[in-house]
């Protein structure tokens, strides 16, 4: 394990990486299980995922101040190094997700039939391959952000086996929220938003369970570290920002969204938008609190 001193920019990177890869694999899964009926979710997922990862990696390189370190880790794979594994996962996702996004961009009206995009037009096999292979890479990347923290000397991060799983589940929820926002912004497929909200409600329930297990593990294995977020300087952000705004309120809103006849008949996008924004805020605060509270408990 190693000690760290990470700035707020890393929290932004962890958040963007989670949202990006989760939007991608959520879209791919929706496309597969709907037999193509929700293929536009796969398109929007690719459009969200690739830029988010690229921007996140650029921010990471900027923060490190040593871009060559990234390439060194990429060229010299070390299975025992969490950083090395992470660099390979990020690189693999950028390649697979980038190719997948190009197959979608090639079908847009502005693409035409010539140029680079023209070469990716009518490539369903490439799209399916990059989607199927990119999906597990995205899942591993979403969980990796938590595993990266757990590999350090912080008792808050290393005293529980659930941090990687928590980050994976949280990322999935934020990825679904991002897709709901895109659909709401475009004022389309309200019925699909309802389905996404239903799926996200289940994800949030699972996230609450994982969170509870994590806190129980911390309480028994590292009570002082747990106190930093539960009763210490980060407790207000934890209880109000993460638990209330990021979990409980969105779950209530999404359950209401599922059973409200008024919303179903009026196609009111306000409620799912509110839930999505709260989930994204809560997802960022989760990473922010764990990043900085973990450094306090080093």
Model confidence at 267, in pLDDT bands (50, 70, 90)? low
| CATH number assigned to the domain with residue range 8-296, chosen from the 4 options 3.40.1390.20, 1.10.287.1060, 1.20.1630.10, 3.30.300.30 | 1.20.1630.10
Indicate the range of 77-91, 101-115, 172-186, 203-217 predicted with least confidence: 77-91
CB 293 within 8 A of CB 228: yes
What are the tens digits of pLDDT across the range 8-67? 788 888 899 999 999 999 999 999 988 889 999 999 999 999 999 988 878 777 766 665
Predicted pLDDT at 176: 97
Predicted pLDDT at 2: 44
What are the tens digits of pLDDT across the range 200-230? 999 999 999 999 999 898 888 778 878 888 8
Where on the phi/psi map is residue 115: left (φ > 0), alpha (ψ -120 to 50), or beta?
Answer: left
Q: How far apart are CA 259 and CA 282, in angstroms?
A: 24
φ, ψ at 2 (rounded to 5°): -135, 150
- Rounded to an integer, the average pLDDT of 71-79 is 65
Model confidence at 1, in pLDDT bands (50, 70, 90)? very low
| Domain ranges for the chain | 8-296
Question: Between 177 and 293, where is the model more confident?
Answer: 177
φ, ψ at 152 (rounded to 5°): -95, -175
Share of the chain above pLDDT 90, in %: 46
- Rounded to an integer, the average pLDDT of 77-83 is 68
């Amino acid at each position: 394990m190693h000690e760290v001193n990470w700035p707020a920019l890393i929290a932004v990177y962890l958040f963007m990486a989670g949202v990006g890869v989760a939007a991608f694999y959520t879209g791919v899964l929706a496309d597969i299980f709907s037999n193509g009926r929700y293929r536009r979710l796969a398109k929007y997922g690719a459009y969200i995922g690739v830029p988010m990862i690229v921007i996140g990696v650029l921010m990471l390189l900027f923060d490190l101040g040593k871009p060559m370190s990234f390439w060194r880790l990429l060229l010299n794979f070390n299975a025992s190094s969490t950083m090395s594994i992470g660099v390979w996962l990020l690189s693999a996702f950028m390649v697979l997700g980038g190719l997948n996004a190009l197959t979608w961009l090639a079908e847009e009206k502005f693409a035409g039939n010539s140029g680079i995009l023209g070469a990716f037009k009518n490539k369903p096999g490439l799209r399916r391959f990059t989607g199927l292979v990119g999906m597990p890479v995205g899942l591993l990347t979403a969980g990796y952000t938590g595993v990266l923290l757990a590999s350090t000397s912080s008792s808050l991060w290393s005293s529980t086996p659930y941090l990687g799983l928590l980050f994976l589940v949280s990322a999935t929820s934020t990825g679904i929220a991002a897709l709901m926002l895109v659909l709401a912004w475009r004022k389309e497929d309200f019925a699909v938003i309802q389905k996404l909200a239903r799926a996200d409600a289940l994800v949030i329930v699972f996230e609450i369970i994982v969170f509870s297990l994590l806190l129980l593990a911390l309480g028994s294995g590292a009570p002082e570290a747990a106190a930093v977020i539960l009763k210490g300087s980060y407790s207000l952000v934890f209880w109000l920002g993460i638990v209330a705004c990021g979990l409980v309120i969105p779950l209530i809103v999404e359950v209401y969204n599922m059973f409200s006849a008024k919303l179903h008949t009026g196609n009111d996008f306000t409620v799912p938008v509110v839930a999505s924004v709260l989930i994204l805020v809560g997802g960022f605060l989760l990473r922010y609190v764990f990043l900085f509270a973990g450094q306090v408990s080093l």
